[in-house]
Chains A and B, each alone.
Chain A
């Protein structure tokens, strides 16, 4: 009951926020120089005024801005995201087409970074003044500080070019026509480099945060009590320290999860991964406003959904929060 009301309230707010986001994005995009018709015409290498006018009329860009805004918002209200200017394909179809690849990549990276980060962080916390603990932290710092694109390129150079272990790019082997298990294995091989690259940064953050937060929790009175009760150290670490240390990690995981749809532009570009991030970047370069706004909308919606989920997970990890909500 409490949950239902909480969720309803949040959904109601979410709709309002989404509506504001749609309007804000639409206005923001008007600030970018250049229009899609000029860019399309430019690529043709030859364009007369008639061509430009045809395109502008077709895209509705010849209308005053408030008319364009009204058309767009009323379209969205009916869940009609319009057509991509450049590709002439419904925006919704384009996004759905790319979504699986992106979710596979970001989802794998999410799980990978979260699990490895927490494990590494707990290990580091348990080995505070030992060399092995320092080594974990040093590695985490290196991954945290290294630019993503550099890691990506170097991993390609090492694992694909020199060692030849893993494919350098793409989602699957073009022309191999694998099916079933062979296809899954092929995709998994292609997934290793991009997912690891993407995971490293967040893994480093989770490691550092888990360690700090666990050391913090270990100083609390309830841990002393537990120890005084004579509980085993491993149980204390798991039940009392880690569980209490999880809250900031959940916050961060919620943030990362919200970025799952749009947050992998660099990785997708370097590894030619056919996902949403690339679609968004190309849409931006081409001023393909409808497509860009569509992706913004989906990303925003996903962020809101994950915020709600994060709040629910909080209350699972720490029942005191549920009381606060009611």
Chain B
């Protein structure tokens, strides 16, 4: 069921596409938007949290960009080739790119960024780099990556936030985290860092020397810092703010703001991340260690209700462990519908004795608290004795890192490929205390390990698909975690901000193409 709001968005998105085709972009103007929470710093590659990506994705760039269908587009690399055995990737770089301080961007910067900077600092890049045998600059504008074996999602790894290009001439040989340039990030992107009044605003200004003709159109982007959700909604309402990136206002404010005059909304721009909400279930002890109990939880939850009521009808109820934006989804699986009867049967069969279990909401705001209440209600309906426990971010991290929970909410990015964003949740060698982002549930299955590991390096695609389909069948049966929702995080903006979302990371690099029709 699609709610009226979701329909309105599709309609707005259509209208939006047709107008942009008709009009010619106008240069000039400054856009005011929000960053929430205030980022700790702006050097992408050193810091990869969401607010840093949102702002700094407009300062820094990667070799490639991705469409909303996750197809690679040229960015710093204007073309690339993959060898027939899938082990050698050759990137041809643009020869007209300069850093914001005027130095030329060359292949040496790529080698330094990938081989030195990211290997030392960046866990997500490190996960990809373990498949890389060597990185070489064959001339000033050509870089060759040689892999130890084929790695299917390799071309998806060059997004600015994941594989940021950092200037070698400023960072080589320094202690990266103490580098004096961290306060004044130097990238190659369409906007330059201008000023950061901590607690108030981050100002970016147009890069006049940008290598793409006419771009960017905007004179600048101001990222306002407003810590209170209600105040952010007010700032958008009274016109100070033009763009509300996803997640910057509470869900219950969205329908009201979306109905205002001259306000548009899009669900696009999160395909690369595809945030997937899950329910950690402790596979080690308590009732949740029993597969039948976990299946019962899946049947007990009314996920459509949560989507329609708590998420304004935006987002998708997932079939299983693979989201719809990740490749290789196996859609032959039988969905876990809302079926309290089946849930009760399973609980009877395992002999659940009413032992009390706890549920930890994600401490990220009101929507998540309400969601936990809804799930608690669903579970009680089938006779599961469940209590909600509130924590703050630190406490939540600690509880999950110590495996001290029964059920807990979370959401994870999928990064467009199972080998990048999905397998990490289920691989048994990813079980380690102290982190809330690995195989926290404690699921161990040799066959699943085998399949995921083979699929990551299988070649070509058809081979991968076969392996991934099988692994989905096993996971679907075992329910190591609960699959709640592929989150729909809408971006709200004044309709006269044109061409805002043009890539799979949305506003994170979207101001490059945006212009103001004022």
A185 proximal to B (CB < 8 A): no
CB proximity to B under 8 Å, residues A29-46:
32-35, 38-46
- Residue from B37, B203, B230, B396 whose CB has the most chain A CB atoms within 10 Å: B230
By the criterion CB–CB under 8 Å, are A169 and B234 in contact? yes
A282, chain B: closest CB distance, angstroms: 7
Closest to A83 in B: B178
* B401 interface hit (Cβ, 8 Å): yes
Instruction: Please state if B32 and A174 are interface contacts (CB–CB under 8 Å).
Output: yes
Given A43-B49, A45-B48, also A174-B200 (CB < 8 A): yes
8 Å CB interface, A86-103 against B: 86-88, 94, 97-98, 101
Distance between Cα atoms of A86 and B38 in the complex (Å): 11
Assign chain B's interface to a size class.
Answer: 35 or more
Given contacts A40-B40, A44-B124, A168-B231, contact A52 B435 (CB under 8 A): yes
Interface 0/1 of A263-283, CB less than 8 Å to B = 000001111101100110010
Please give the distance in Å from A125's CB to the nearest CB on chain B.
38
A98 CA / B240 CA spacing, docked (Å)? 24
Q: Which of B381-433 contact A (CB under 8 A)?
A: 391-399, 401, 412-413, 424, 432
B222 touches A175 (CB 8 A): yes
- Contact status of A175 and B30, CB under 8 A, knowing A45-B437, A88-B41, A269-B227: yes
The answer on a CB contact under 8 Å between B437 and A46 is yes
Q: Tell me whether B230 and A153 are in contact (CB under 8 A).
A: yes
B41 near A87 with CB under 8 A, answer: yes
Q: Which of B18-58 contact A (CB under 8 A)?
A: 30, 32, 37-38, 40-41, 47-50
B-contacting 9-mer, from A156-164, A220-228, A243-251, A315-323: A156-164
CA distance A172 to B200 in the complex (A): 9
Selected contact of A169 from candidates B32, B49, B231, B413, CB within 8 Å? B231
Asked if B198 lies at the interface with its beta carbon under 8 angstroms from chain A, I say yes
User: A5–B400 Cα gap in the complex (Å)?
Assistant: 56
B413 cross-chain contacts in A, Cβ below 8 A: 45
Across the interface, B436 reaches (CB within 8 A) one of A33, A38, A268, A274, namely A38
Expressed in whole angstroms, the minimum distance between the Cβ of A55 and any Cβ of chain B is 10
Distance in angstroms from B369 CB to nearest chain A CB is 16
Name the contact of B434 in the complex, choosing from A38, A86, A285, A287 (C-beta under 8 A).
A38
Question: Is A48 touching B228 in the complex (CB atoms < 8 A)?
Answer: no
Check A41/B437 contact, CB under 8 A, given A48-B123, A287-B394.
yes
Is residue B197 contacting chain A, with contact meaning CB distance below 8 A? yes
Complex partner residue of A161 from B47, B127, B197, B237, CB under 8 angstroms: B237
Chain A residue numbers with a CB within 8 Å of B254 are: none
Minimum CB–CB distance from A284 to chain B (whole Å) comes to 8
Taking CB as reference atom, which chain A residue is nearest B399? A33
Give the Cβ gap from A129 to chain B, nearest Cβ, in Å. 43
Cβ-defined contact, B238 with A282, below 8 A: no
Contact B123 A44 (CB under 8 A): yes
Binary contact track A155-186/B, C-beta < 8 Å → 1, others 0 = 01100110010001111101100000000000
Residues of B within 8 A of A38 (CB): 394, 397-398, 401, 434-436
**Which chain B residue shows the least CB distance to A36?**
B394
State whether B123 touches A46 (Cβ < 8 A). Answer: yes
CB atoms of B435 and A170 under 8 A apart: no
Instruction: Tell me the B residues contacting A by CB distance below 8 Å.
Output: 30, 32, 37-38, 40-41, 47-50, 123-124, 126-127, 177-178, 182, 197-201, 203, 222, 224-228, 230-231, 234-235, 237-238, 240, 391-399, 401, 412-413, 424, 432, 434-437
> What is A's interface to B at a CB cutoff of 8 Å?
32-35, 38-52, 58, 86-88, 94, 97-98, 101, 153, 156-157, 160-161, 164, 168-172, 174-175, 268-272, 274-275, 278-279, 282, 285-287
A sample of 28 inter-chain contacts (CB < 8 A) reads A33-B394, A34-B396, A38-B398, A39-B397, A41-B123, A42-B393, A42-B397, A45-B48, A45-B49, A47-B123, A48-B127, A52-B435, A88-B41, A97-B198, A153-B230, A156-B230, A156-B231, A161-B237, A168-B231, A171-B200, A174-B200, A270-B230, A270-B231, A272-B224, A272-B226, A279-B199, A285-B392, A285-B394
List 9 tightest A-B contacts by C-beta distance, closest first.
A34-B394, A274-B199, A43-B49, A46-B124, A33-B398, A34-B398, A272-B226, A33-B395, A51-B123
Beyond the given A88-B41, A97-B198, A170-B226, could you list 16 further A-B residue pairs with CB under 8 A, ordered by the A residue number? Answer: A32-B394, A32-B395, A33-B394, A33-B398, A46-B127, A86-B40, A88-B178, A156-B230, A160-B234, A160-B238, A171-B200, A174-B203, A269-B227, A269-B228, A274-B200, A287-B394
